[in-house]
């Protein structure tokens, strides 16, 4: 195990709560805790059984800082695998900070973001994909993203990657023998079984790469743009879905100018709803920027809710917007169903899914949600039956490199080039896989992974 200094941080959320937890980790954790913790049973940390809870006071010399419970977690059975002490103190903002200050005063260093998890990684308890799953789990917005993160945290992706590495290592072993001991100067071809190894890795990488789109949607949500001409009720629709007055609604066309984003949980699928400025030609500089953003959002969105005012006949602006969106994933919304219908949705012939609502009166909202849900599931924008999905662009990039290296190998073999070339690409394929699990890592990469963590995790 590598040696690090001893770190400490508040691990509970900032603010007032019933309890606050200060964590200490490192080879001096017990020694520092002994200096500031006076146990009711008078025991010192090394005599206290691991994973047991002890009552006492945090003291700074003669001053009692707080009345606490401590848990000692002795190496290697802890989150970081180092000696750890967790202090459960009273949850006030000031109290927890006082306890932390005392810990720091007696020799610990304030932990950086994600440093506890980073140590779990550096000390080999988890790989990088599992560390990344920790942050995904903390920030998960729905049940589905929790379950994907839990799978990854359990090591499913780690196992899959090491399986692929093993397949490649078998090939590498053969190739190296062929290079080192060529039979009468002629290189023996790679046997069928090992060629199949390469094919397996290629296919598995490909499947994982393809799963990324799905994984990204599970993790980040399905970007759903609410699009239409001014005044049709886009912002009213957003508010109705959120069940709160989030966006400004007025009778004046051109009310919304900026992009408004909010997440809702639709039967376990996160929908990132994006309200946009009504699209029309305008001389107003600010509104025009908004219109450009709306057009941009049409390109970026996974799905579009095309909002129309059903109490009016379709006009030029509706049709112009339709031209921009007709080949995308679109659900047509006939808003203002409380008024007499004049719009003919057949003018928008590519759009097959329509739903009538009155955003203002919150009528038809449940039906609209059902429609959106079945559209998403039916169109496999999201499909829960997929076994393993990757949710991280870093993994996807590395798998693409792996796949490319293997394709190079096939080319080399086909053209009858020497095995040395195969060996180079094999090395690269293996390295790309090792980057995913963090067996090969740089300080930059680790900074990048852990910068999204909170302090104390």
Ligand X SMILES: Nc1nc2c(ncn2[C@@H]2O[C@H](COP(=O)(O)OP(=O)(O)OP(=O)(O)O)[C@@H](O)[C@H]2O)c(=O)[nH]1
Minimum CB separation of residue 260 from Mg ion in Å reads 8
Q: How many residues does the chain have?
A: 457
Which DSSP string corresponds to 402-441?
A: HHHHHHHHHHHHHHT--HHHHHHHHHHHHHHHHHHHTSS-
Handedness of CA 236, 237, 242, 246 (dihedral sign): negative
The residue from 235, 310, 335, 405 that contacts Mg ion (CB under 5 A) is 235
Q: Does 286 bind ligand X (CB under 6 A)?
A: no
Using the rule CB under 6 A, give the single segment among 355-363, 373-381, 402-410, 419-427 that binds ligand X: 355-363
List the one residue out of 304, 151, 260 whose CA is nearest residue 215.
Answer: 151
Binding mask 181-220 for ligand X (x = CB under 6 A): ----------------------------------------
Binding residue count for ligand X, defined by CB under 6 A:
24
Site for ligand X in 215-274 (CB under 6 A): 228, 230-236, 249-251, 253-256
Q: Helices (DSSP H) in 141-225: which residue ranges?
A: 143-154, 156-180, 192-220
Site for ligand X in 128-187 (CB under 6 A): none
List the one residue out of 383, 138, 387, 374 whose CA is nearest residue 266.
Answer: 374
Which pair of structure tokens corresponds to residue 453?
């963590």
The residue from 80, 211, 358, 437 that contacts ligand X (CB under 6 A) is 358
**Nearer to Mg ion among residue 140 and residue 298 (C-beta):** 298
Neighbouring residues of 35: CB distance < 8 A, sequence distance ≥ 6:
106, 107
**Nearer to ligand X among residue 130 and residue 335 (C-beta):** 335
Which does residue 360 bind out of Mg ion, ligand X, none, counting CB within 5 to 8 angstroms by kind?
ligand X
Cβ atoms of 8 and 22 closer than 8 Å: yes
Q: Lay out the sheet containing 354-356: strands in order across.
A: 260-266, 269-275, 222-227, 303-309, 330-335, 354-356
Residues 149, 382: Cα–Cα separation, whole Å: 16
Minimum CB separation of residue 290 from ligand X in Å reads 9
The residue from 335, 391, 402, 437 that contacts ligand X (CB under 6 A) is 335
Provide φ and ψ at 226, rounded to 5°: -95, 110
Using the rule CB under 5 A, give the single segment among 203-211, 227-235, 362-370, 399-407 that binds Mg ion: 227-235
Residues 109, 288: Cα–Cα separation, whole Å: 52
Could you tell me how many helices (H) and strands (E) the chain has, helices first? Answer: 14, 13
Q: Does 236 bind Mg ion (CB under 5 A)?
A: no
Encode 151-170 in three state secondary structure: HHHHCHHHHHHHHHHHHHHH
Which does residue 253 bind out of ligand X, Mg ion, none, counting CB within 5 to 8 angstroms by kind?
ligand X
Binding residue count for Mg ion, defined by CB under 5 A:
4
Q: Does 70 bind Mg ion (CB under 5 A)?
A: no
Binding mask 346-375 for Mg ion (x = CB under 5 A): ------------------------------
Q: Does 256 bind Mg ion (CB under 5 A)?
A: yes
Which does residue 230 bind out of Mg ion, ligand X, none, counting CB within 5 to 8 angstroms by kind?
ligand X
Footprint on this chain of Mg ion (rule: CB under 5 A): 234-235, 255-256
Footprint on this chain of ligand X (rule: CB under 6 A): 228, 230-236, 249-251, 253-256, 277-278, 335-336, 338-339, 358-360
């Amino acid at each position: 195990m590598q040696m690090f200094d001893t770190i400490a941080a508040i691990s509970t959320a900032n603010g007032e709560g019933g309890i606050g937890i200060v964590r200490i980790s490192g080879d001096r954790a017990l020694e520092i805790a002994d200096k500031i913790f006076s146990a009711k049973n008078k025991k010192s940390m090394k005599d206290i059984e691991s994973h047991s809870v002890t009552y006492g006071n945090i003291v700074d010399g003669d001053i009692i800082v707080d009345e606490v419970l401590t848990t000692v977690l002795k190496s290697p059975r802890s989150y970081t695998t180092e000696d750890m002490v967790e202090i459960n103190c009273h949850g006030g903002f000031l109290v927890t900070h006082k306890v932390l200050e005392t810990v720091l005063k007696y020799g610990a260093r304030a932990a950086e973001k994600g440093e506890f998890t980073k140590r779990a990684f550096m000390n080999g308890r988890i790989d990088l994909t599992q560390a990344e799953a920790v942050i995904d789990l903390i920030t998960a917005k729905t049940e589905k993203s929790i379950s994907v993160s839990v799978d990854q945290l359990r090591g499913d992706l780690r196992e899959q990657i090491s399986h692929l590495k093993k397949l490649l290592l078998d090939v590498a072993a053969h190739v190296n023998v062929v290079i080192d001991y060529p039979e009468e100067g002629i290189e023996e071809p790679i046997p069928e079984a090992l060629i199949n190894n390469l094919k397996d890795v290629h296919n598995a990488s490909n499947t994982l790469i393809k799963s990324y789109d799905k994984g990204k949607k599970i993790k980040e949500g399905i970007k759903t743009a609410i699009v239409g001409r001014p005044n049709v009720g886009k912002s009213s629709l957003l508010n109705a879905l959120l069940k709160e007055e989030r966006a400004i609604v007025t009778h004046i066309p051109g009310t919304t100018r900026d992009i408004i984003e909010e997440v809702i949980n639709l039967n376990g699928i996160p929908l990132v709803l994006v309200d946009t400025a009504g699209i029309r030609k305008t001389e107003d500089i600010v509104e025009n920027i908004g219109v450009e953003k709306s057009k941009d959002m049409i390109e970026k969105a996974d799905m579009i809710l095309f909002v129309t005012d059903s109490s009016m006949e379709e006009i030029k602006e509706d049709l112009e917007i339709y031209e921009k969106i007709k080949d995308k994933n679109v659900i047509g919304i006939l808003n203002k169903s409380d008024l007499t219908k004049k719009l003919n949705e057949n003018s928008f012939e590519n759009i097959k899914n329509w739903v009538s609502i009155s955003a203002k009166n919150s009528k038809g909202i449940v039906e609209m949600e059902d429609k959106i849900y079945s559209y998403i599931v039916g169109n496999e924008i999201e499909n829960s039956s997929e076994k393993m999905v990757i949710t991280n662009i870093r993994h996807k990039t590395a798998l693409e490199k792996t796949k490319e290296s293997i394709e190079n190998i096939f080319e080399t073999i086909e053209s009858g080039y020497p095995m040395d070339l195969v060996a180079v690409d094999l090395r690269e394929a293996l390295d790309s896989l090792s980057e995913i699990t963090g067996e090969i890592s740089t300080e930059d990469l680790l900074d990048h992974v852990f910068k999204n963590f909170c302090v104390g995790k």
